[in-house]
Structure 1
Amino acid sequence: MAELVLAPDDSPSDVRRHVESCSECAVTLAALSDVRRLVGEESLVPAPAGVRDRVMAQARTRPPPADDVVRPLASTVPAASRRGPRIPVWAAGLAAAVALVAGLGIGRVTVPEPAAPEPEDPGSVVAAADLTALDSDADRGVARAVSVDDMVTLRVSARELGDEDGFHEVWLINVDGTRMVALGVLADWDTGEFQVPRGLIEEGYRIVDISVEPEDGDPTHSGVSLARGELA
């Protein structure tokens, strides 16, 4: 099935005919095709050793909800299969992940091994803050002020900030509670690095705040903070 997604022109004709007539295989193919589509045009490389085992282990620890189902996508499943039985989301997702991991090892896709990245200078941590939700003590990540080559970089790694509409912005609030400066927007996966003048932290701007901001063009703080912690 993975081969049918990764190298359709090289797949045996009897496999293609079977998928066209088998509703369960058509659903699995739809899930596989979605995984490949999400990868985009990036070159595929063999999965690291142990990935398949970890996928299987994680899947086995999650019992499938009885009503968690997925239907074939109209754009990728033959019309004859759309009336077939519904397949659980966990089964289709597991099939997609494991089959693609296996498919990447069949030799159909060959690309050079990527060069190892240059190691980054970890710098020296001069201050750190545990980020928590404002309405509880729930962990929301960590922020570290790192000194590298006489510069201070605030490295923020947040989690579970919710899915409210808008974007997540990082602020430094002065300990006097009346002044603040915006540092920038968190990137995907709610992580980011921000250059901070050393004097700013020394002047008391030590409270790291993450807000959710509507896309309304207003540069001021929305007043809705998702996480906060003080550098110490």
Structure 2
Amino acid sequence: MVAAIATRALPLVDLTSLNDADDVASTAALCAKAVTPAGNVAAVCLWPEFVAQAKHALMGTGIRVATVVNFPGGSLPAEKVVDQIARALADGAEEIDIVMPYGAIMVGQGGDQRAADHLAACRAACGAATMKVILESGSLAKPALIERAARVAVDAGADFLKTSTGKVPAGATPGAARIMLEASRAAGRPVGFKASGGIRDVETAGQYLALADEICGPGWVSPARFRFGASGLLDAILAVLGHGPAAVTSAGY
């Protein structure tokens, strides 16, 4: 059972490193790690300044290159975020993980519209690139706020709803995942889900896969619709599959 979950989870991983100390050497190591004896991950997710390096290193592997903008606080003005997106796309990014201005959702009184306008500008800037919107569900905390944020993101054109930056104390939770998966199901168009922040073992990954199966149907999960944003999870997956020690770390977050 655990091996089956590991096999299923491996191609769904966005192998992530967003550390202050990341550099050319750590980026090369991350890209090498993304190609495993058991199969490749879905994507690597790293700082914008390493997108071009990763794109070159992963050429021909089928592994996508993702980066983050408006990260981690979600507080930059839309024009600066649009510029970040343009630069990342020019360097070869295929997926953009955007922190929505979730503080506006928490304030209310027109905040939803401000967040919607911000994300609409980001959507236009992303063009055909995959736009994953980070709700920062751990900071929103209340189910009603998470539901509102998810609705704003979907209406603004999000391709994925993502739980967390991993930079706040509370990352992904099953409760937040349920709300976001229900929003994906109700979207009326394909909207994926990315669980990120604190997912480090195969058993926990299995809980999120089971939730997706329950809410969206057993045939819904695929790399085009479901991702795990993680670093240590890959080590745990490979250990279960017989390809290395269970070296579970929190390096990527």
- Counting strand residues as a fraction of each chain, which structure ranks higher? 1
TM-score by length of 1: 0.22
Larger Rg: 1
TM-score by length of 2: 0.20
